[in-house]
Amino acid sequence: VCQIGRYFFFFQAEDGIRDFCLSRGLGDVYKRQVHGDYIYPAFDQLVNEAAKYRYRSGNQFSVGGLTVRAPYGAVGHGGHYHSQSPEAFFSHAPGLKVVIPRDCIQAKGLLLASIRDKNPVIFLEPKALYRNAEDEVPTEDYELALHKAEVVQEGKDITLIGYGTQIRVLKEAAKEAEQDGIKCEIIDLQTIYPYDIETLVESVKKTGRCIVSHEAPVTMGVGAEISAALQEKCFLYLEAPITRVCGYDTPFPLAHELVYLPDKWKVYDAIQKLSLIHI
């Protein structure tokens, strides 16, 4: 274990690491030395202990800034073990917050907000951005609201919802659609749980069409929850069925990664199909 202030670097021992942080009073940041794909041995400590501390104690105790940083998602050569997206598992545990940044500026602001939050935060960092994300990140201290989605691009025809690396994919697909005269509104969730339903509803009521996209498998994924919520709240405003463009229900395939991933052409195809539907 290497400690720098309240920041701890660990080697592989996921369940032991969480036990260590919990026993310390939890005012610490835990940085995984490996991938979020191997976070599962610590699932019990995070879901059954950290997530329930404040509730069990009647808000007398908390996990005081426990933030778990973990790389996740496809990286281009990770195969079935090093390309997983575990966000849906943790999004089903009340008491946890799940945050995924799309780029450098968002990563700093959301991470600082996560560290200072009273609740435990699972901070998932897209592996694919580690070596190809570059921006002018402000040097001063700043935070981005954990419960607020960001409208990355305004549009009037279709709402595209995503997070993490997928925002880049949605931007590329929207650029292709713009050549067809279709203007897409792109929304970055930023916080996966609890997510900002108000911003999503406002957008979908305006556009009448919606696509939710993420790398994780489509069944029981984040997209399913968002689709159901928007169906309930925006039913009379919808011009077409809400569509999900996501990963397939299969272990992540190394040889067929490009087939598995919901790339810009899959999103663009969904945009074209939705634009032709009128309920």
Looking at the annotation, which residues are catalytic?
Answer: 14, 82
Nearest by Cα to 79 from 217, 214, 260, 263: 260
CB of 202 closer than 8 Å to CB of 234: no
Structure tokens that stand for 16 in this block = 């032991």
Q: State the burial class of residue 136 (Cβ atoms within 10 Å of its Cβ: 0-12, 13-18, 19+).
A: exposed
Query: Alpha helices of the chain — where are they, by DSSP H?
Result: 14-23, 43-44, 53-56, 87-90, 104-116, 166-178, 197-207, 222-234, 257-260, 264-275
Q: 161 exposed, middle or buried (CB, 10 Å; 0-12, 13-18, 19+)?
A: buried
Gap between the Cα atoms of 122 and 119, Å rounded: 10
CA distances to 63, 155, 156, 177, 271 from 181, rounded to whole Å, are 50, 11, 11, 7, 11
Asked if the bond preceding 194 is cis, omega within 30° of 0, the reply is: yes
Q: Note whether 220 and 249 are within 8 A (CB).
A: no
